Amino acid sequence: MKSSRTLGLVMIAPAAVMIVLFFLMPVVLTAVFSMTNMTTATGISGGVYQIAPNSLITLKSAMPEIAAEMAEPRYTIDEAGLKAVEGLGLAPAIAAELRAKHAGEVFATRRDVERMIKDLTERPSTREVKQISEQFNRSVLNTRFDSKEQLFSSLDGLGFKLTPEQKETVAKTTYTGWTWTTDNFSRMASSPDMARVLFNTVLYVALVLMLFNVGYALLLAIWTHYMPPTRASIFRGIWLLPRITPVVIYVMLWKWLAWDSGFISILMGRFGYPPKNYLLDTAYNAWFFVVLINGFIGASMGMLVFSSAMKAIPKSQFYASEVDGASRWQQIRYIILPQMRWPILFVTCYQTLSLLASFNEILLATNGGPGNATEVWALSAYHTALRNYAGNLEYGLGAAMALVLVVIGVVLSLLYLRVFNYGTLVAKPLIED
């Protein structure tokens, strides 16, 4: 028996690797990112230390004199620099002329020193000018240091007398990368827009789920249940179309229907109504279409599950009820619905989770508009982390928002498993090893 267990583990190994890589890792990474202030400006892979005019503004309030001194760019033609130029392997006359004519001179900007270098008799190429000027750079301004140690040794080398605390302050204000923080969560908690987005999400999931994914799906299943088999199949086939149509084309069809120049406007124009963008006209309109678009896609799954479940109800129950004179409504009320408890629970559970995470249809139809009226949580996380006009991608905040969805999903799953009474569903078989 042991060998069969080992074999089982071996067989499950590829799947386990996949699960870890593609299911578990994204969640773990989301959790890690959510505890950072990562954005486009901080980068993902980590930062460097750069004393830039921008960071000196912050430093100025803490240590004004040192900040002012650091702000001074200096290019000094000193012996060390001249030696370094000699080592570059350029024409020897360059270093010689620099030593003879310019030793000891100090230049305020790189452009100044480069202008001087270009005036040398042996005019170096642009690339060489850049190489030479770098040898005389005696300033930390705008230089990027990979580590704190490099920054500190450079500051020491330039004669800055800083206490360890001051050094740490300099390092902190000049670090360009991301840092660990819980700010994302406090931002989410305090932002009125986040509350609005959360409300939108609850509204969206509840409306689509109740009206279409469960309600309308059940209605369709019952309708087709009482239809002749061929007609029922055709009907179900039609309802599958929104599901199997590529989502971009499907949403474009809706847009063509509802835009200013679309079908509804043309039709209403015949009755004297001016054309208008029915899709984005008001928040209510946008919601109406968002719910319809998603509902029509989502209804098919419930319809299929419910239809097959109804087929499993023994026919004898229907015959017997007809003999007893039961109406269709009574059959639905007393035979079908009581036996649909599990399928309904299953569809509710599954669709809640998928609706919580779905946003592509909304992105294509309204992009969260008008005025963020249809911005749901998943779409907002996407906009925050990956897509906005200003190009300011806030990976940390977006990850924190995604994490909230993961947590809600996990909690809901556990809740549903409890309601489902998962234990009885996967009860141990009587024949054990």
Partner 1 sequence: MTILPTLKSLTIAAAILASTSAFALAKDVTISVWAGGTGPNDTYRLDAIEIAAQQLQREAALKGEDLKITVEKKPYSAWEDFKQALTLAAEAKTAPNIVVSGHEDIAPWSQSGLIVPIEDYVDLDSWPLNGIYENLLKIASYNGTVYGIPQDAESRPMFFWKPYMKAIGYSDADLDALPQNVQDGKYTMKNLLEDAKKMQDRGLVQPGYGFYPRTSNGPDYWQFYTSFGGTMEEGGKLVFDKAAMTRTYQFFADAVKSGVTKKNHIGMPGDQWWKEVATGKAGIWDGGTWHYARLVNQEGLTDFFGNVIFTLIPAGEGGKANTLTHPLVYLLTAGHDKEETDIAAQLITIASEPRINALHAVKSAHLGISEAESEVDFYSADRWTREATERLLPHANAMPNNSDFGTYWNIMWKNLEASWTGAKTVDAAIGDAESELKSTLGDKIVIR
φ/ψ of residue 274, rounded to 5: -65, 150
Q: Find where tokens 């408890």 sit.
A: 341
389 touches partner 1 (CB under 8 A)? yes
Q: Per the structure block, which two tokens stand in for 13?
A: 């190994």
Q: Mark 330-369 with x for binding to partner 1 (rule: CB under 8 A) and - for no binding.
A: ------------------------------------xx-x
Q: Which is nearer to partner 1, 4 or 190 (CB)?
A: 190
142 touches partner 1 (CB under 8 A)? yes
CB 259 within 8 A of CB 277: yes
- Minimum Å gap between C-beta 429 and partner 1 is 48
- Minimum Å gap between C-beta 54 and partner 1 is 6
Q: Which is nearer to partner 1, 43 or 409 (CB)?
A: 43
74 touches partner 1 (CB under 8 A)? no
- Minimum Å gap between C-beta 133 and partner 1 is 10
Burial class (CB in 10 A: 0-12, 13-18, 19+), 21: exposed
54 touches partner 1 (CB under 8 A)? yes
User: Using the rule CB under 8 A, which residue among 164, 274, 325, 429 binds partner 1?
Assistant: 274
Which of the ranges 222-230, 309-317, 327-335, 370-378 carries the binding residues for partner 1, by CB under 8 A?
370-378
- Minimum Å gap between C-beta 312 and partner 1 is 46
- Please report how many Cα atoms fall inside a 13 Å half-sphere around the Cα of residue 294, on the Cβ side: 31
How far apart (Å, rounded) are the C-alpha atoms in residues 48 and 146? 5
Cβ within 8 Å of residue 248, ≥6 positions away: 364
Instruction: Give the DSSP H/E element, type plus range, for residue 75.
Output: strand 75-76
147 touches partner 1 (CB under 8 A)? no
CB 378 within 8 A of CB 355: no
Which of the ranges 21-29, 86-94, 239-247, 387-395 carries the binding residues for partner 1, by CB under 8 A?
387-395
Between the two ends of the chain, the Cα-to-Cα distance in Å is 7
283-311 vs 192-207: helix axis angle to the nearest 10? 40
Amino acid (one-letter) located at 149: E
**Distance, CA of 344 to chain centre:** 31
Q: Find where tokens 């015949």 sit.
A: 270
Beta pairing class for 75-76 and 144-145:
unpaired
Cβ within 8 Å of residue 414, ≥6 positions away: none
276 touches partner 1 (CB under 8 A)? yes
User: Using the rule CB under 8 A, which residue among 5, 83, 115, 418 binds partner 1?
Assistant: 115
User: Using the rule CB under 8 A, which residue among 180, 387, 417, 419 binds partner 1?
Assistant: 387
User: Using the rule CB under 8 A, which residue among 32, 48, 291, 405 binds partner 1?
Assistant: 48
215 touches partner 1 (CB under 8 A)? no
CB 328 within 8 A of CB 227: no
261 touches partner 1 (CB under 8 A)? yes
118 touches partner 1 (CB under 8 A)? yes
Contacting residues toward partner 1, per CB under 8 A: 39-45, 47-48, 50, 52-54, 57, 73, 110-111, 114-115, 118, 126-127, 129-130, 141-142, 144, 176-177, 186-187, 190-193, 255, 259-261, 274, 276-277, 280-283, 366-367, 369-373, 386-394
